[in-house]
């Protein structure tokens, strides 16, 4: 199952063909007695898909608010990243806990995770480089042309920009990629340390990172951070709290009471979106942040496992999930170009921002099936090569 963060569809058993070996054998060979029974079909969580899409839309509004002449709009949407981290821990554990226990090579696991992230990540970086390179050649961009190329190469390898000076972002061509970088670190740690990730260890990780988050909330007034080198420690604390919490939720999902889904899926989407909107007064921002990451986000994930949309609503929920990752990865690289096109078309600043919002959602909708097809092709090609080597 490929139920991922920050984007893409929740495809069950992403790397499995689902073939039933020996299904048509007239006489079962003796060794088949030792073959373990097939795993039961994995549950498909459409509501979690849709929640991820709502979180991505909230981030989009946050990064567009100044162009909409509404600077306070979705001011708390940075917390959507914490929701992504909880959800990522849940879905990665759901997809790979059993496979890693059964002997899935760590290298294979990491390769599958990279396939999940890289096509759209590379597309976003490439678009950003193409759009800023003319300005860099003319001396009108903050980086010279050679630095743009370096940022492109490093970003494609998920290596942060090596300087803490201007630009201060870990990934200057696409700042939101900082959370993808942390997702890669989380996958690396999950794969390498999986055998030691007991419930006790995960609880200790959540407790330790939670203490750091409390410290940040008190001293900095917020837990926000991660996009810049100067706040990377805050981003790591957010990851180390929410990702293990998501793993714990997944492993204990059988004990999630059905009553949590009593509200139904639509109110869950509305709650997440509404909680990303307010500008919380400074004395209360840190407390609001802590309440969201420690209570609201895990509750929404847990409730999302118990609330399913109606058959009529299911396509909409799946669409929200499908656009979430391309929306998150592409909205910053495309923003400058789309806003410039809107201005040339005669739209004012606010109207141009509205046009940009519609355009980027449409682009994300179009990009989602292309991304899925590319990933299927990559995985299928490798599986075909492996079969040829063993034949």
* Residue 31: band (very low, low, confident or very high) from pLDDT cuts 50, 70, 90: very low
Residue 380 has φ and ψ, to the nearest 5°, of: -65, -40
Residue 228, SS3? strand
CA–CA gap between residue 48 and residue 317 (Å, rounded): 9
The percent of residues in the chain predicted with pLDDT above 90, rounded, is 75
Residue 169, SS3? strand
Give the helix/strand (H/E) hosting 11: strand 10-11
pLDDT digits (tens, 9 = 90+) for 55-70: 999 999 999 988 887 8
CA–CA gap between residue 58 and residue 357 (Å, rounded): 12
Residue 2 has φ and ψ, to the nearest 5°, of: -115, 75
> How high is the mean pLDDT of the chain?
88
Domain boundaries, the chain: 44-372
pLDDT digits (tens, 9 = 90+) for 249-300: 999 999 999 999 999 999 999 999 999 999 999 899 999 999 999 999 999 9
Instruction: Give pLDDT, residue 43.
Output: 74
pLDDT digits (tens, 9 = 90+) for 179-205: 999 999 999 999 999 999 999 999 999
Instruction: Give pLDDT, residue 42.
Output: 62
pLDDT digits (tens, 9 = 90+) for 217-232: 999 999 999 999 999 9
Q: For the residues 8-36, what does the mean pLDDT come to? A: 38
> 13: burial class by Cβ within 10 Å (0-12, 13-18, 19+)?
middle
| 20-24, 94-98, 335-339: the lowest-pLDDT one | 20-24
What tokens does 185 get?
């670190």
Q: Is 348 a residue whose pLDDT tops 50? A: yes
| 22-26, 33-37, 81-85: the lowest-pLDDT one | 22-26
For 327, other C-beta atoms within 10 Å of its C-beta total 27
Q: Is 24 a residue whose pLDDT tops 90? A: no
Beta strands per DSSP E along 82-188: none
* Residue 349: band (very low, low, confident or very high) from pLDDT cuts 50, 70, 90: confident
Longest dimension (CA), the chain: 75
Q: Is the peptide bond before 391 cis (omega within 30 degrees of 0)?
A: no
In contact, 238 and 226? CB cutoff 8 Å: yes
For 107, other C-beta atoms within 10 Å of its C-beta total 9
Q: Is 140 a residue whose pLDDT tops 90? A: no
């Amino acid at each position: 199952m490929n139920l991922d963060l920050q984007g893409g569809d929740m495809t069950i058993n992403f790397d499995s063909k689902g073939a039933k070996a020996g299904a048509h054998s007239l006489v079962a060979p003796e060794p088949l007695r030792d073959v373990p029974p097939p795993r039961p079909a994995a549950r498909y969580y459409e509501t979690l898909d849709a929640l991820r899409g709502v979180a991505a839309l909230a981030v989009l509004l946050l990064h567009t608010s100044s162009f909409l002449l509404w600077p306070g709009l979705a001011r708390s949407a940075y917390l959507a990243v914490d929701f992504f981290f909880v959800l990522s821990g849940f879905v990665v554990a759901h997809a790979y806990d059993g496979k890693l226990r059964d002997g899935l090579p760590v290298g294979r696991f990491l390769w599958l995770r990279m396939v999940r992230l890289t096509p759209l990540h590379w597309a976003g970086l490439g678009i950003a480089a193409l759009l800023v390179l003319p300005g860099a050649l003319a001396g009108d961009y903050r980086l010279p042309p050679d630095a743009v190329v370096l940022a492109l190469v490093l970003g494609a390898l998920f290596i942060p920009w090596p300087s803490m000076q201007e630009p201060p972002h870990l990934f200057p061509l696409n700042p939101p990629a900082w959370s993808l970088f942390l997702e890669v670190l989380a996958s690396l740690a999950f794969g390498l340390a999986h055998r030691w990730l007991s419930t006790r260890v995960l609880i200790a990780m959540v407790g330790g990172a939670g203490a750091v988050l409390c410290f940040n909330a008190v001293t900095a007034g917020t837990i926000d951070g991660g996009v810049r080198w100067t706040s990377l420690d805050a981003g790591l604390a957010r990851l180390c709290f929410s990702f293990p919490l998501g793993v714990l939720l997944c492993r204990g999902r059988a004990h999630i009471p059905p009553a949590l889904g009593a509200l139904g899926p639509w109110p869950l989407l509305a709650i997440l979106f509404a909680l990303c909107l307010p500008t919380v007064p400074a004395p209360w921002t840190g407390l609001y942040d802590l309440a969201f990451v420690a209570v609201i986000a895990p509750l929404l994930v847990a409730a999302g496992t118990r609330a399913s949309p109606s058959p009529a609503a299911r396509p909409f929920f799946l669409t929200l999930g499908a656009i979430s990752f391309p929306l998150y990865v592409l909205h910053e690289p495309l923003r400058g170009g789309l806003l410039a096109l809107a201005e040339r078309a005669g739209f004012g600043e606010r109207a141009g921002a509205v046009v940009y919002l519609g355009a980027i959602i449409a682009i994300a909708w179009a990009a989602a099936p292309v991304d899925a097809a590319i990933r299927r092709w990559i995985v299928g090609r490798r599986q075909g090569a492996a079969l040829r080597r063993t034949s």
